[in-house]
Amino acid sequence: MSDRTKIAYLVNQYPTISHTFIRNEILELERQGFDVTRISVRGWDAELTDDADVAERDKTSYLLSGGVGPLIISLIKMLFSQPVSLFSAFMLAMKMGRISERPTLLHLVYLAEACLLFGKMRQNDVTHVHCHFGTNATEVGMLCSVFGKTSYSFTVHGPEEFDKAHSLNLREKVKRARFVAAISAFGRSQIFRFAREEDWEKVKIVHCGLGAEFIDSEVSNPPSTPHLVTVGRFAEQKGQIILIRACHLLAQKGVLFELTMVGDGDMRPQIEQEIAQYGLEKSIHLVGWKSGAQIRDITARSKALVVPSFAEGLPVVIMEAMAIARPVISTYVAGIPELVRDGSEGFLVYASDAEGLAIAMEKLLKLDDSALKSMGEQARERVRERHAIVNEAAKLKALLLEKSI
């Protein structure tokens, strides 16, 4: 019989291209002595670009892949085996529904998912589930814990959890959790805003971590070409429109540059329109989503990564760029200034300031090779010090083992 500690991971959608940090965390916990049962609400049919994600999908069990049938069967089983606990969980789901912006019926679906989760955990001899993001997956984990002999914890990323903290009833989720992981000091402060003061002690900082493919990778010298890259979902909070306007200001000044935009999303039409409006089609290239290896290659062929966000947690893409010795131009938002220091690992500007962003981009593009390389080396050293997955998983391991699982 294995003496490895068994836990479950629950995510709303896993794996996805934007959740490599969760994959890193799971794999490192396994290297450090855990057996991890992967469970996801959805994502079995997601389009994946990384072979590592395909391998993770094969290891993952999905709550909704069987349709309504398994949910109803799990509810009926719980009704006969634990009617009192089911009623308590039902009342909690109703409480969550009363303050949520989502209909109460959906929270009853979460209750059915919790019943199914409970069955999967018992089947795998697991009594603790760790969830990522304080949204619906954490509610499912919380409802499951009402059935007894199970507990849950969760990692809060932001900004969505903080934007809708009341609607998500973050306070209740923190109250009932064994512990809560925040990915930055800023994130912890935001949890403190909504949690009871007596629950502050259970909120710990565990950074998102980078694997050896970044931490121990060989790095190349920055290119001589004026190439920049930005990576992210095309959405309001990511600030890509401001970035395009900053590029327009650079073009007006005659500064040579080329920008590759990796990503996609609902705002693609507006972004394409903005690029066309300023006549930047030859300077800005939209390339869609790419695999992790492709993003790394594009970043390595760039002088710097630009992240013009209005709202964030602490973007993993920043960590990845710094790990391959590329400076970062970003904003004084959320946890970003905890990692990137203005003038050391890159440049920071005020969010929404197109002129300030253009100035920072021009400043970086005009650095000589020696100065640019030195900035990249500082970036690499800082991220290796703060975000190596072996260290961050060890912090999580200690929290998971703090009480009997």
Per-residue pLDDT reduced to its tens digit, 62-99: 999 999 999 999 999 999 999 999 999 999 999 999 99
**Assigned token pair, 24:** 């890193």
Cβ–Cβ < 8 Å for 169, 100 = yes
| For the chain, percent of residues with pLDDT exceeding 90 | 91
Cβ–Cβ < 8 Å for 177, 152 = yes
Average pLDDT, rounded, for the chain:
96
pLDDT of residue 403: 66
Rounded to an integer, the average pLDDT of 368-393 is 97
Residue by residue, DSSP assigns 36-62 as EEEEEEE-TT-----HHHHHHHHHEEE
Cβ–Cβ < 8 Å for 140, 360 = no
Rounded to an integer, the average pLDDT of 206-234 is 94
Residue 376: band (very low, low, confident or very high) from pLDDT cuts 50, 70, 90: very high
Q: How far apart are CA 290 and CA 294, in angstroms?
A: 6
Q: Is the pLDDT of residue 200 over 80?
A: yes
pLDDT of residue 345: 98
Q: Is the pLDDT of residue 193 over 90?
A: yes
More confident residue, 49 or 353: 353
Rounded to an integer, the average pLDDT of 333-353 is 98
Rounded to an integer, the average pLDDT of 315-335 is 97
Residue 15: band (very low, low, confident or very high) from pLDDT cuts 50, 70, 90: very high
Beta carbons within 10 angstroms of residue 69's beta carbon: 8
Domains of the chain: 5-209+388-401 (3.40.50.2000), 212-386 (3.40.50.2000)
Q: What's the CA dihedral at 251, 257, 261, 266 to 10 degrees?
A: 0
Rounded to an integer, the average pLDDT of 301-315 is 97
pLDDT of residue 49: 76
pTM: 0.94
Q: Is the pLDDT of residue 1 over 50?
A: no
Rounded to an integer, the average pLDDT of 378-400 is 97
Residues 6 or more apart whose Cβ sits within 8 Å of residue 134: 154, 156, 161, 168, 170, 173
pLDDT of residue 3: 72
Rounded to an integer, the average pLDDT of 261-278 is 97
Q: Is the pLDDT of residue 405 over 50?
A: no
Rounded to an integer, the average pLDDT of 365-378 is 97
Q: Is the pLDDT of residue 50 over 70?
A: yes
